[in-house]
Structure 1
Amino acid sequence: MSDTTQVQNEWIEMVEQMNEAVSDSVEQNMKAQAAFVESWADAVEDSIPEDEELTEGIQGYNRAYEEWMDAAEQVLERSTDAAQGEEVDPTEFRDIWLQSANEAFKHVMGTSAFAAANGQLVEAMMEMRQEADDISQETVAQLGFPTRDDVVEVGERLVELERRQHEIEGKLDRILDELED
């Protein structure tokens, strides 16, 4: 095999690898975008934000989408550079996608629509926690053990008894002082 043929084969192999890397990157990008949109939609699906919040949320999503598209352009440029013989570190591709993901999430997470959705999520979690706490208290009571409320009540009674004891001790001290005088 001639040197020219070997160089051509190596070139074809390198281009195929680059095409596969770009294809994988684009596929991962699309999957990440789909997951991002799905999680964002899940976060806001139970709420209908005000017009301003909705507009701001859409703008945040648009800015996030622009970040993803900029990343795709950067990957394409670096792939072209690599195809033209420039040495490109494969970690550059990863770094481009990670940086764009961080920026995209900042754009969406900084919106009032996202904050409202998070507020609703926290509220729902607090309600679930309260329900779980109520169930556990009922279960403990049914098993015949003292509940948290029982322990709190006993503690309050002890504090009241101590207060009364100090009050009686004070009265006794005054009576003894009167008798001694």
Structure 2
Amino acid sequence: MTDSQPQTQNWNAFVEQWNEQLLEALEENMEAQAQFVESWTQTVEETTDDEEMADGVEGYARAYEAWMDASRQMVERVNDVAEGEDVDVEEFRDIWLNTANEAFKEVMSTTAFAKMTGETVGDVLDAQQQADETAESTLRTLGFATERDVVEVGDRLVELERRQHAVEQKLDRVLEELQE
């Protein structure tokens, strides 16, 4: 009877550890879902087109379903562990990583996400153009050559080489005529 008591204590400790890990995983899942919902809500609120909004809501619903499926998988695998099956801890990590990929794929395939991304890229390009103009103005004020100046000099140099080549060809024809 004394042999079974340490086994029971080990089993209880093992189950307690798995329960704690499951609770932590579920809490992280709920936190990730809450962050996802918050960011998605901000995106959808900015969308004015009803069709885009409907598409965005459908994308969110598919992503939410992926998270719920992951939760079901986690519970199933924990139950498998409780029944004595040897489950690799990496399976739990893989469930969450694969689910995150699937959820983001569902969201990123919506027109609302495409619109938001397009607007963000446009804003970044505008900011970059303003920064470039400011840098060029500062360089010009300080008396340094700007990229535009260097390109202009390069273009002029290419044009001069083209003209020089044309003059050399004409000169060669004149010399040939004189030699004949």
Q: TM-score range by the shorter chain?
A: 0.7 to 0.9
* Equivalence for 2:33: 33
Deviation at 1:22, TM superposition (A): 0.6
Deviation at 1:88, TM superposition (A): 2.0
- For the 8 Å contact 1:49–1:113, the answer to whether it is kept is no
* Equivalence for 1:130: 129
Deviation at 1:153, TM superposition (A): 2.2
- For the 8 Å contact 1:68–1:104, the answer to whether it is kept is yes
Query: What is the RMSD computed on CA atoms of the aligned residues?
Result: 2.4
* Equivalence for 1:103: 102
Deviation at 1:64, TM superposition (A): 0.6
SS in 2 for 1:155: helix
Aligned residues: 180
* Equivalence for 1:115: 114
Deviation at 1:53, TM superposition (A): 1.4
Structure 2 Cα separation of the partners of residues 22 and 74 of structure 1:
12
**Runs of 4 or more consecutive aligned structure 1 residues displaced over 6 Å after TM superposition:** none
* Equivalence for 1:9: 9
Deviation at 1:65, TM superposition (A): 0.5
* Equivalence for 1:87: 86
Structure 2 Cα separation of the partners of residues 7 and 170 of structure 1:
99
* Equivalence for 2:141: 142
- For the 8 Å contact 2:107–2:113, the answer to whether it is kept is yes
TM-score, with normalisation over the residues of structure 1? 0.84
- Does 47-56 or 104-113 show the bigger shift? 47-56
Structure 1 Cα separation of the partners of residues 117 and 124 of structure 2:
10
Write the deviation string for residues 141-167 of structure 1: whole angstroms up to 9, x where unpaired.
122111122222222333333344444
- For the 8 Å contact 2:40–2:60, the answer to whether it is kept is no
- For the 8 Å contact 2:15–2:82, the answer to whether it is kept is yes
- State the AA in 2 paired with 1:66: E
- State the AA in 2 paired with 1:112: T
Write the deviation string for residues 117-146 of structure 1: whole angstroms up to 9, x where unpaired.
111111111111111111111121122111
Write the deviation string for residues 85-130 of structure 1: whole angstroms up to 9, x where unpaired.
2222222211111111111111111111111111111111111111
Unmatched segments (≥5 aa) in structure 2: none
Deviation at 1:24, TM superposition (A): 0.9
- For the 8 Å contact 1:14–1:83, the answer to whether it is kept is no
- For the 8 Å contact 1:60–1:111, the answer to whether it is kept is yes
TM-score, with normalisation over the residues of structure 2? 0.85
Unmatched segments (≥5 aa) in structure 1: none
CA distance 1:178–1:8, shift in 2 (3 Å) = closer
